[in-house]
A and B are shown apart, each in its own frame.
Chain A
Amino acid sequence: MRLSGGVIDRSKPLQFSFDGRSYSGYAGDTLASALLANDVRLVGRSFKYHRPRGVFSAGSEEPNALVELRSGARKEPNTRATMVELFEGLEATSQNRWPSLKFDALAINDLFSDFLTAGFYYKTFMWPKAFWEKLYEPIIRRAAGLGSLSMQADPDVYDKGFLHADLLVIGGGAAGLMAALGAARAGADVILADEGSELGGRLLAETDTLDGKSAADWLRSLEGELAQLPNLKVMRRTTVFGAFDHGIYGAVERVSDHLPVPGNRPRQTLWRVTARRSILAGGAIERHIPFRDNDRPGIMQSSALRAFANRWAVSPASRVAIFTNNDSGHCAARDLLAKGVEIAAVVDSRGDAPQQGDFRVIRGAMVTGSKGRHGLASIEVSRPGGSEWISCGALGVSGGWNPNVHLISHHRGRPVWDAELHAFVPGPDLPKGMTVAGAAKGEGSLHAALRSGAEAAMASLQQLGLRPEALRLPEVEVREENLQPLWHVPGKGRAWVDFQNDVTVKDIKLAYQENMRPVEHLKRWTTLGMATDQGKTSNVTALAVMAELTGKSIPQTGTTIFRPPYTPISLAVLGGGDTGTNFRPRRLTPSHQWAKTKGAVFVEVGQWLRAQYFPQPGEAHWRQTVDREVLATRRGVGICDVTTLGKVDVQGADAAEFLDRLYCNPMKSLKVGMVRYGLMLREDGHAFDDGTCARLAENHYVVTSTTAQAGPVYRHMEFARQCLWPELDVQLISTTDAWAQFSVAGPNARRLLQRVVDDADLSNEAFPFMACANLTVCGGLRARLFRISFCGELGYEVAVPARYGNALMARLMELGVDLGAVVYGTEALGVMRIEKGHAAGNELNGQTTAQMLGMGRMVSSKKDAIGAVMSRRPGLQLETRVLVGLRPLDPAEPVVAGSHLFAEGAVQKTENDQGWISSAAFSPHMASAIGLAFLTNGGDRMGEVIIAANPLQGQQVAMRVVPTVFVDPEGERLRG
């Protein structure tokens, strides 16, 4: 029912629906307050027993009121109704019930509760073993459920950002506000983050006056002042969910969650906040007192009852009762009474409870039971003299307050027990730079919180080296709690401790009997505190019950610490928009635009987007295209953008010495104007990467790496330069993106290149195989020419500054029309290198050695190069698998890379494995499928027939062992 007053805007009514029924609320409502205003107390079913459940809290600790929000692709399960701001047209649906919330078929679980107690998963579903995966687990998953996913892509945009501050204040209640104000006035850069939509925290939920003003008025004028401070950033709807190393905090800002659709803003933003200091003013969470059947809708924290009445002008019922062990329950009763709600009774476990208002106080009493099928109808109140049933539609329970120590324990800091407060408070081990203030520190009454916030600001300012200014605290009433602990009401029946995971006092007793007494065992045996709320409202109470059973004190029994995130956060915001094409940077080759206009099909190669093949009209299948590109290259001339290969410019007086130590083969002897193939090993003796090394001048080299390893190779080279041989005079720079490089290969390659280079003699005598030179092309453009070939034809690679790459590609194709010039992509490139028997990434997979690649003799024993020593170790020397070529006996048979090799007739098991096919392609040149493979003693087995097994696809292909080079084995084309 709706009361008077509140911080809601009655001029803005909003329509919403819950389980298909329409209701109305006001701007400023949460879904929880709006449902209660419409007398909807039943909002969900519990996890295990499917018990009817209602709103339990007014904040982010809510264990019960989890609903599915929105519909279609925006449907979001497990949102806490207490944190959902109402908007026009909001759709919410209850969860974990079938067919309806009022009649839930699985509520039958409740009758079998004796079988579903602590550890029941471990005990019940052990046998037969095979049943677990197929039968038990699916059934349990269906029965014990949270919400369901839409299974559609999220249509909204998420973002992430970085913030830096001197001071991060976490929580915008009384303590946080004072802390932020004090620090910002002194000139510190301050961020004040609060998870709620409004600053104020408990000030909004209570009725204190500050300097004689209502909290609302006081907040308004304070916010006015905060807005005037340019060095203070106030972030509402922002949850600081984790404290990470070195003053880094994770925060999620719910930018548009309170709107029907986000419009052109992100839905949520992930902030990475780096702060020199932080003040945790996260408040405290009221604990409840378990009693028999304490989980009926309508039973909630007394602080929640109070917040609903004061902030949202709502009461779950017209007649309510309070069950408390401290004075704050009486404040709730007083506030509700003032709003016209009938107080059935304040049941106080203390014999000396005060009389603070015009309502019945039952002293030295406890609530021992409740009735009401889908919502509370009455409570049983017992005291030494006897018991009575009191009718009421809601019950507020106050068992004291647990300081919100979540964030302090993210670095394994343990809270310590405060015997006076009867609560765990932050200990000395805080995340570095953090100060705790207010209720989070156990200083929860308003006057203490204000003072504590101001003090935290002063302490932080001193640490920051800033001069604090005196901060006047507003005048408020001083109040104490006078708590006398009551952790649970003894008796029969089930009394819930953890609402979200359905854990009762009985379950804890059972865990105790079964010797699951340490806290960590207790948690896992009962699942207590392991729900999405991380036991915010249950952990300490459970410890107290266990302490009572073991006869130990609560701190002796243990503490539980929390992990990030403070409240559940969506995976979408952790992705921060890095999905789809934004998943990683996309690098385009210099000729990308040209390739696009020619209708290229592109493929992702690491971050690069490369042209895979260039279909022509009439080509129905990619193989047709690739075959054409290969044959045309081998017949005329083919051009391919090979810019993506890593390039490192190496200069310095010791460049030759440096490269000699880096490559396993000799490099010092390389002459100026020549290129050499180079193989790099890892220090453990395995092959790392290969490429070419071109000596452009005495002290100037350009080396290349494979596309995939460009980053690691450069890193490795810098490691060698800076860490191993810093005394060498050598400088490195990655020039992969600076130079556009094209392979021009085929019988007509020379004729074509002669048309672009300026006055250079490309004859075989002047520019032989493996030559390189600096020259100019197209009338003065500086360029580099290398006579190297990956495909086995007469070949060159020509490099120009990257911005001319697109134009050079177009020019080469234009000038090559009469020479049969064709452009080819990565597929044809791959086919041709397999035809030529060149190793590539598939062969350099980190498990192979120079010896396996047939290059064992390249590893020089005359010098100390990286990996040389370990390549000679016996384990690698004994390896007999070497690279060979393979051809199926039937050319039409498919060859699949990854197939394993077996002798004909051998049983196909690991012991008989003789190697694997690393690369395979259809060779138009051979008119057959071909492959490269590592085969045991392969060098001695030419002509032998072996079986390539691909059991995944049921293929057994008989193949003949042949040399690796299928095209021009004598190398005449290369050198011609």
Chain B
Amino acid sequence: MLIPHPLLGLRDAQEFTYLGDAVLLNRPDGLAEGAPEAFNEYIYLRGNPAGVHRELWFHEQGDRSWLIVTRNTLTHEILHAELARDVALKAKAGAV
């Protein structure tokens, strides 16, 4: 597989380490009310879609960027790749 790195262009998937669902970005607040339930959801309850999936890949043998790759799990077609940092920053800006 080839992953279109937003900074480096097409890179071989062998350079990356896979983590999983990009919902891992949405870490709950550990000091908030209901944190145990929120963490239970965060850690254990994931969707497993047959189709489009947003997932985290780490460019470990490269520039060490975490990417969010949008991939169709049925065809392996990669629809989009972006820096996880940008996505997280945008999400935080929206939340404020």
Give A contacts to B, CB under 8 Å: 244-248, 274, 411, 432, 683-684, 711, 715, 718-719, 722-724, 726-727, 863-865, 868-870, 872-873
| A54 CA to B35 CA, complexed, in Å | 73
A-B contact pairs, 28 of them (CB 8 A): A244-B1, A245-B1, A245-B2, A245-B76, A247-B2, A274-B12, A683-B43, A684-B43, A715-B58, A719-B24, A719-B56, A719-B58, A722-B65, A722-B66, A722-B83, A724-B88, A726-B85, A726-B89, A726-B92, A727-B89, A727-B92, A864-B30, A865-B30, A869-B28, A869-B30, A872-B36, A873-B36, A873-B40
Identify the closest chain A residue to B90 (Cβ). Answer: A726
| A868 CA to B36 CA, complexed, in Å | 10
Of the candidates A244, A432, A727, A869, which one forms a contact with B35 in the assembled complex, judged by CB atoms under 8 Å apart? A869
Task: Give min CB distance, A729 to chain B, whole Å.
Answer: 13
| A873 CA to B37 CA, complexed, in Å | 10
A-B contact count (CB 8 A): 72
Question: B residues 1-36 with Cβ under 8 Å of A?
Answer: 1-2, 12, 17, 19, 24-25, 27-31, 35-36
Evaluate contact between A715 and B17: CB separation under 8 angstroms.
yes
From known contacts A246-B2, A868-B30, infer whether A722 and B88 are also in contact, taking CB-CB under 8 Å: yes
Chain A neighbourhood of B1, CB < 8 A? 244-246, 248
* B84: interface (CB < 8 Å): yes
Identify the closest chain B residue to A272 (Cβ). Answer: B12
| A711 CA to B61 CA, complexed, in Å | 11
Chain A neighbourhood of B56, CB < 8 A? 719, 723
Evaluate contact between B76 and A724: CB separation under 8 angstroms.
no
Evaluate contact between A718 and B25: CB separation under 8 angstroms.
no
Task: Give min CB distance, A683 to chain B, whole Å.
Answer: 6
| A718 CA to B16 CA, complexed, in Å | 14
Evaluate contact between A722 and B39: CB separation under 8 angstroms.
no
Task: Give min CB distance, A635 to chain B, whole Å.
Answer: 44
Chain A neighbourhood of B43, CB < 8 A? 683-684, 870
From known contacts A724-B27, A869-B30, infer whether A274 and B17 are also in contact, taking CB-CB under 8 Å: no
Evaluate contact between B19 and A719: CB separation under 8 angstroms.
yes
| A245 CA to B28 CA, complexed, in Å | 36
Evaluate contact between B60 and A715: CB separation under 8 angstroms.
yes
From known contacts A248-B1, A869-B39, A873-B36, infer whether A723 and B17 are also in contact, taking CB-CB under 8 Å: no
| A722 CA to B78 CA, complexed, in Å | 22
| A246 CA to B77 CA, complexed, in Å | 8
Which of A246, A719, A873: most chain B CB closer than 10 A?
Answer: A246
| A726 CA to B95 CA, complexed, in Å | 14
* B64: interface (CB < 8 Å): yes
Of the candidates B30, B36, B42, B85, which one forms a contact with A722 in the assembled complex, judged by CB atoms under 8 Å apart? B85
Question: B residues 42-96 with Cβ under 8 Å of A?
Answer: 42-43, 56, 58, 60, 64-66, 75-78, 83-85, 88-89, 92
| A898 CA to B45 CA, complexed, in Å | 33
Give the number of residues in B that approach A within 8 Å (Cβ atoms): 34
Task: Give min CB distance, A866 to chain B, whole Å.
Answer: 8
| A873 CA to B83 CA, complexed, in Å | 33
Task: Give min CB distance, B74 to chain A, whole Å.
Answer: 10
**In the complex, given contacts A246-B76, A719-B66, A723-B66, what are 18 additional A-B residue pairs having Cβ atoms less than 8 angstroms apart?**
A244-B1, A245-B2, A248-B2, A274-B12, A683-B39, A715-B17, A715-B60, A718-B58, A719-B19, A722-B83, A724-B27, A724-B88, A727-B89, A727-B92, A869-B30, A870-B43, A872-B36, A873-B40
Of the candidates B12, B60, B84, which one forms a contact with A723 in the assembled complex, judged by CB atoms under 8 Å apart? B84
Chain B neighbourhood of A864, CB < 8 A? 29-31
Give B contacts to A, CB under 8 Å: 1-2, 12, 17, 19, 24-25, 27-31, 35-36, 39-40, 42-43, 56, 58, 60, 64-66, 75-78, 83-85, 88-89, 92
From known contacts A246-B2, A869-B30, A869-B39, infer whether A723 and B25 are also in contact, taking CB-CB under 8 Å: yes
Task: Give min CB distance, A688 to chain B, whole Å.
Answer: 14
| A3 CA to B60 CA, complexed, in Å | 61
Chain B neighbourhood of A711, CB < 8 A? 60
Identify the closest chain B residue to A874 (Cβ). Answer: B36
| A934 CA to B49 CA, complexed, in Å | 40
Task: Give min CB distance, B20 to chain A, whole Å.
Answer: 11
Chain A neighbourhood of B64, CB < 8 A? 718
Identify the closest chain B residue to A661 (Cβ). Answer: B30
Task: Give min CB distance, B73 to chain A, whole Å.
Answer: 12
Chain B neighbourhood of A863, CB < 8 A? 31
| A411 CA to B43 CA, complexed, in Å | 33
Task: Give min CB distance, B36 to chain A, whole Å.
Answer: 6
Of the candidates A244, A722, A873, which one forms a contact with B84 in the assembled complex, judged by CB atoms under 8 Å apart? A722
From known contacts A274-B2, A715-B17, infer whether A723 and B30 are also in contact, taking CB-CB under 8 Å: no
| A374 CA to B76 CA, complexed, in Å | 51
Chain B neighbourhood of A873, CB < 8 A? 36, 40
Identify the closest chain A residue to B96 (Cβ). Answer: A727
Task: Give min CB distance, A300 to chain B, whole Å.
Answer: 41
Chain B neighbourhood of A726, CB < 8 A? 85, 88-89, 92
Of the candidates A718, A865, A869, which one forms a contact with B36 in the assembled complex, judged by CB atoms under 8 Å apart? A869
Chain B neighbourhood of A727, CB < 8 A? 89, 92
| A432 CA to B78 CA, complexed, in Å | 12
| A722 CA to B24 CA, complexed, in Å | 12
| A873 CA to B43 CA, complexed, in Å | 13
| A864 CA to B17 CA, complexed, in Å | 27
| A484 CA to B78 CA, complexed, in Å | 46
Chain B neighbourhood of A724, CB < 8 A? 25, 27, 88
Identify the closest chain A residue to B65 (Cβ). Answer: A722
Identify the closest chain B residue to A274 (Cβ). Answer: B2
Task: Give min CB distance, B28 to chain A, whole Å.
Answer: 8
Chain A neighbourhood of B83, CB < 8 A? 722
Task: Give min CB distance, A428 to chain B, whole Å.
Answer: 14
Chain A neighbourhood of B28, CB < 8 A? 869
Chain A neighbourhood of B66, CB < 8 A? 718-719, 722-723
Task: Give min CB distance, B63 to chain A, whole Å.
Answer: 11
Chain A neighbourhood of B27, CB < 8 A? 683, 724
From known contacts A683-B43, A684-B43, infer whether A723 and B85 are also in contact, taking CB-CB under 8 Å: yes
| A948 CA to B5 CA, complexed, in Å | 53
Task: Give min CB distance, B86 to chain A, whole Å.
Answer: 8
Task: Give min CB distance, B50 to chain A, whole Å.
Answer: 14
Chain A neighbourhood of B89, CB < 8 A? 726-727
Identify the closest chain A residue to B74 (Cβ). Answer: A412
Chain A neighbourhood of B77, CB < 8 A? 432
| A719 CA to B83 CA, complexed, in Å | 12
| A69 CA to B39 CA, complexed, in Å | 61
Task: Give min CB distance, B95 to chain A, whole Å.
Answer: 11
| A897 CA to B47 CA, complexed, in Å | 40
Chain A neighbourhood of B84, CB < 8 A? 722-723
| A684 CA to B24 CA, complexed, in Å | 13
| A869 CA to B42 CA, complexed, in Å | 12
Evaluate contact between B29 and A723: CB separation under 8 angstroms.
no
Identify the closest chain B residue to A247 (Cβ). Answer: B2
Chain A neighbourhood of B65, CB < 8 A? 722
| A715 CA to B88 CA, complexed, in Å | 17
| A376 CA to B77 CA, complexed, in Å | 53
Chain B neighbourhood of A432, CB < 8 A? 77
| A872 CA to B40 CA, complexed, in Å | 12
Task: Give min CB distance, A638 to chain B, whole Å.
Answer: 35
| A684 CA to B19 CA, complexed, in Å | 15
Chain A neighbourhood of B88, CB < 8 A? 722-724, 726
| A247 CA to B76 CA, complexed, in Å | 12
| A274 CA to B36 CA, complexed, in Å | 47
Identify the closest chain A residue to B28 (Cβ). Answer: A869
Identify the closest chain B residue to A862 (Cβ). Answer: B31
Chain B neighbourhood of A245, CB < 8 A? 1-2, 76
